[in-house]
Structures are given as structure tokens and as C-alpha cells.
Structure 1
Amino acid sequence: MSNPCIICVAITGSVPRKEDNPAVPVTIAEQVESTQAAYEAGASIAHCHVRNDDQTPTSDPDKFAALKEGIEKHCPGMIVQLSTGGRSGAGQARGGMLPLRPDMASLSVGSNNFPTRVYENPPELVDWLASEMLKYDVKPEIEAFDLSHIFQAVKMSADGRLKKPLYIQFVMGVMNAMPVDKEVFDFYVHTLKRLAPDAQWCGAGVGAGQILVNEWSIAAGGHTRTGLEDNVRLDRNTLAPSNAALVERAATLCAKYDRPVATPAQAREILGLRSA
């Protein structure tokens, strides 16, 4: 294969803490520094969350603005993708950063179970977030935790609530949601190609499943996500020293399958994003 592979780095998330791995970046300055190293290692998308001083998650638009500004300054052309996830806020507060007009934002189009709670994405909130993304020209990354989320995203694109072409991320390995399973992964890819042939897709694995989903995605011609949000280890006995180390590992798999690592400019072209 010769098609470039987009590597997304999920730098912080809402759950991992310094106690889990001291390399988890929490402050804005730490996140910008960690993102710059990951960018230099080959990541072209930064998937971003923000935290309070006590490491708890927040949807504070001012913090998102500072992080976006820092990444744009130190990582020229990198795609900034802000999270509208439900761990860091409730209701429309989850989309309070969309007026910042990031390149992309995550969008979950349905509910599912998480390790200790229900991840609620009621239809009216999903529709509001989608409409805000249309309003501010923000491309959604659909986070599919379940097969039904793929069908819902295709339905939303057909009726105009989401712009075409879709970009869908298969999320596998969250406890109580879809496990890391190769046959399920293959069915996801087949189903998306059948329902939305023009869609681009990405695979993200959580915990020990990260490296498996990285390899499956790269080998199948898709894109992939890595980073300390999803996994804080290189292996059972070794903490990942940085986000960059996880990006480097994904880039090595790209070389194994003769997939060039996409530059930020190539990633923007592939995803149909505006120029930096």
C-alpha cells in the first residue's frame, strides 16, 4: 500500500493521572510540550482534553483556547481536534469550545456503557453538537463505540446533519463496551465501506489493545490513534515514557506495511479540511 496513514495522538484524556504514569501531561504547558514531541514523531492530529489543576477533567473553553493556541504555535499545520466527551462536562457545556473553530471535534452519536457508568449521548444533545459543528465549520470525528453508532452516523450524513465524507473512529477495548476483537474490527471496516464508500476511518484501541488495533488499522489501509489517553504502557512491565514514544511505535508499524506517515498537509487533504 502507498496511501499515507494519519496518526492521531490522544495526549491526555479525562482519566489517566500522574499517579498512573508521570508522563501524562496535565497543564497546558505540559500538553503543548508533549504534543510538539508527538508531532515531530509523526502525529498529524492532536486529540485534546483539558484538566483542572487537581487533574479532574473540564470543558472550560478558556483552557481549550490556550491549548489550541499553543499547539498551533509550536506544531505548524497540525490538526487540532477538541473533545466534546461526556466525562468532562454535561449537556451543552460539552460543546462550549466549538466557537473556537478547531479543525475537528469528537462526536459520539449514541450511548453505551463505560467501566463504571453509562456514557449518555441523548439524541437531542447529539443533534445540537452536530449542528454547532456545521455552524462553525468543524469536522466531526465520529467515535463509534458500538456497531449502531456507524449506522447512526451514516443516517445523519444522509439527512444533512453531518457533512460528507464521514470520518469514523472505531473505539475498541473500553471496559463494558466493544472489546478488541479482530472479527468485529473486520466487520466494522466492511460495514462502513458498504454503507459509506467515501468515508475515511481510524482505529483506536484502549489499554493493551492499543498496539493490536494500531496494527490492524494500518494493515487494512485505515488511519490510527495512539497516545497516553488510551494507554499508559509500552508493555505489561514498562510505562510509556511519552506520547511521542507511542507515536513512534505506530510509525514503525506504518513502515512495516509500506504506509508513509501522513504529513499534516496530507492529512488535511485526505480529510477535506481547510488549510492551516
Structure 2
Amino acid sequence: MAKPRKVIISCALTGAIHTPSMSPHLPVTPDEIIAEGRRAADAGASILHVHARDPETGRPDQSVEAFSRILPALKETGAVINVTTGGSPFMDVSERAAPALHYKPELASLNMGSMNFGLYPMLDRFSEFEHDWERSHLENSKDVIFKNTFGDIEYILGGGLKNGTRFEFECYDISHLYSLQHMAARKGIEGTLFVQSVFGLLGGIGGHPEDVQMMRRTADRLLGDRYEWSVLGAGANQLRIAAMSAAMGGHIRVGLEDSLWAGPGEKATSSAQQVELVGQILAGVGAEMATPDEARDILGLKGASEVNF
């Protein structure tokens, strides 16, 4: 009898898109982020994707010091720790990359192209904010370009590869897959490429099933058999696109960074709730969640003993 396919579940705990006033369940303080990570790992997530926030205001904080209050405790879960280099669209590349270059994690995210990054439509759904920065954070996204030039990508790649860090290559559009193909050849990236296809953010590819299929077909054509494919569906797209990936042989990312919801009109009480819902999807297609060590084997990671935290 064939063994069930192992699916890597990444869980993005807090991010830099949603603001604290949007959900009482969005973790902000180090203790809240750590507790959320523990719950997600217990629910079956093998990778924890980490951002930090100012504990007083909830504003994204990409300082090395902010991550020092989070990473050691999350490491104790046994999960693979994935440190963001995306930070926030309002930060420059040196600020965004600093925690990953300092802490030398097993895995770090890396955005593969510049893009519009429209968060302002959320103002149609959320009108009252506790902190002054929240409204301007959304409004100002109308005029911001999330800058990820080829030079920025090379800067992060060079430092990370030197440290033995591998990358979750975040591809928000078809062009980003072409950029990844180019960079993999130019920088001589060896081993398995972990491709995170992002759907449903304004400025990137949409969340239609044909968009998902096109991203998968294009990745197959450009990268052949040297990559592992995962999906991230923003907002209401999350579980529907997760189900598509499960059926198409891919991996899945969930978490409150990407969606505040557990179903139509139902706010998720934690990222762990979303992980559990994905577990139900996998059971329906005869697949299982990969353990952290199975994820390390699939992606060719260096191991938790080799990080700097």
C-alpha cells in the first residue's frame, strides 16, 4: 500500500499586513507570537514564518533586537524557523534583511520582484483603529511600490547563502518565476528551490483557479523537477487555494499574516485553527502533514543546530 504524501504546512504567525485593530486574535507582543507559534506547531505546522512587532503599538518591527525576543523560544518547538526578509513594503532592503543575515536561520523568505502592494481596500471593511499608524499604513499603500530589485535580491541571496540559509522564494506573479529561474542560474543556487506562490494580493496575480494552474504550469516548465511548490492564498482565498494545492501535489501556507478568517464570516481564533482546517483537507485527499524533520529532508535544510539563535 502506498504511503501518504507528506505535505509541508507553513504557518505565518503575524506578518506586516493586518493591523491590531482588525482582530483581537492577531498576536503582537513577543509572548503572544511565541504562544501562537507553539499552538501552530502542536497543530502540525512544520515551518513557522516569523515577523516581529512593536509590543506597544503593533507596528511591524524589523530590528535584530525585536527578533531576539521571539526566535529562541520558537526554536524550542522543533519547527523550522523561517525569518522574513520581506518585513514591510515601507522598509529598505538592509533593514528588511538584517534579522535573517544576523540569525542565520534554516529558511528565510525572499520576494522575487518589485510590485504594487495595495492594502487600502481593507479600509472598506475596517473603519475604527486603536493606533494612529494603522489607517495611514493602509492608505499609503496606494502610492507605495514594494521594492525588490535584482540588486536587492542579490544582496539577500548572497548573505543568506553564505550563512547556509535556504529560501522560501515568494512569487506574486508569473514574472517572479522567470526572475527566480534567472537568479538560480546566475547565483548558482544548488539543491531544491522552495517556491511559495502568492495569490490574491492587490498588485499580484489573482486567486482564480486558472491563476493557480498557470503558476503551477509555468513553474513546472521553468524549474522542472528541482523545486517544491507551495501556495499562499490571501484573505478568503486561503483555504480554497490550499485545497487546490493539496489536490495538485503541492504544499500549503496558512496563518493570520495571510488571512484573519476560518470560514465565511468567521474570524479565526488562531493560526492553529487554520492549520487544523488544512489537516482536514489533507485527510480528504489521502495526504499527511510533514513533520519538521521531514520538511528539512524535503527542502535540504541545514538543521536547527546550525542557526545563530
Percentage of matched positions with identical amino acids: 30
Q: Contact 2:198–2:231 (CA<8 Å) still a contact in 1?
A: yes
How far the C-alpha of 1:161 sits from its partner, in A, is 5.0
How far the C-alpha of 1:18 sits from its partner, in A, is 2.8
Which residue number corresponds to residue 86 of structure 2? 85
Counterpart Cα distance in 2 of 1:260 and 1:221: 12
Alignment of structure 1 residues 18-167 onto 2, 5 Å: 18-52=20-54, 53-73=56-76, 75-76=77-78, 78-87=79-88, 89-97=91-99, 98-115=101-118, 116=141, 117-167=144-194
Which residue number corresponds to residue 255 of structure 1? 283
Letter in 2 for 1:129: I
User: Partner of 2:241: helix, strand, or coil?
Assistant: helix
Pair 1:272-2:303 in alignment: no
RMSD: 1.4
User: Partner of 1:260: helix, strand, or coil?
Assistant: strand
How far the C-alpha of 1:160 sits from its partner, in A, is 2.4
Q: 2:17 aligns with which of 15, 18, 26?
A: 15
Per-residue CA deviations over 1:238-272 (Å, capped at 9, x if unaligned) read 11011110110111111111111100010100000
Q: Identify unmatched segments of 5+ residues in structure 2.
A: 119-140, 305-309
115-124 or 239-248, which deviates more: 115-124
Per-residue CA deviations over 1:207-266 (Å, capped at 9, x if unaligned) read 000011111111111100001001101223211011110110111111111111100010
User: Partner of 2:108: helix, strand, or coil?
Assistant: strand
Letter in 1 for 2:65: D
User: Partner of 1:210: helix, strand, or coil?
Assistant: helix
User: Partner of 1:208: helix, strand, or coil?
Assistant: helix
How far the C-alpha of 1:130 sits from its partner, in A, is 0.8
Q: 1:3 aligns with which of 2, 5, 15?
A: 5
Q: 2:214 aligns with which of 187, 195, 220?
A: 187
Query: Following superposition, which runs of at least 4 residues in structure 1 exceed 4 angstroms of deviation?
Result: none
Q: 1:224 aligns with which of 238, 252, 276?
A: 252
Q: 1:170 aligns with which of 197, 211, 224?
A: 197
User: Partner of 1:201: helix, strand, or coil?
Assistant: strand
Q: Contact 1:82–1:102 (CA<8 Å) still a contact in 2?
A: yes
Per-residue CA deviations over 1:39-93 (Å, capped at 9, x if unaligned) read 01010000111011211112111121221101012x02x0000111151631311
Bigger radius of gyration among the two: 2
Which residue number corresponds to residue 127 of structure 2? none
Q: Contact 1:130–1:161 (CA<8 Å) still a contact in 2?
A: no
Letter in 2 for 1:29: D
Q: Contact 2:106–2:303 (CA<8 Å) still a contact in 1?
A: no
TM-score, length-scaled by structure 2: 0.85
Cα 1:33–1:4, aligned 2, differ >3 Å: closer, same or farther? same
Q: Contact 2:7–2:290 (CA<8 Å) still a contact in 1?
A: yes
TM-score, length-scaled by structure 1: 0.95
Q: Contact 1:130–1:162 (CA<8 Å) still a contact in 2?
A: no
Count of residue pairs the alignment pairs up: 274
Q: Contact 2:60–2:87 (CA<8 Å) still a contact in 1?
A: no
User: Partner of 1:57: helix, strand, or coil?
Assistant: coil
How far the C-alpha of 1:195 sits from its partner, in A, is 1.8
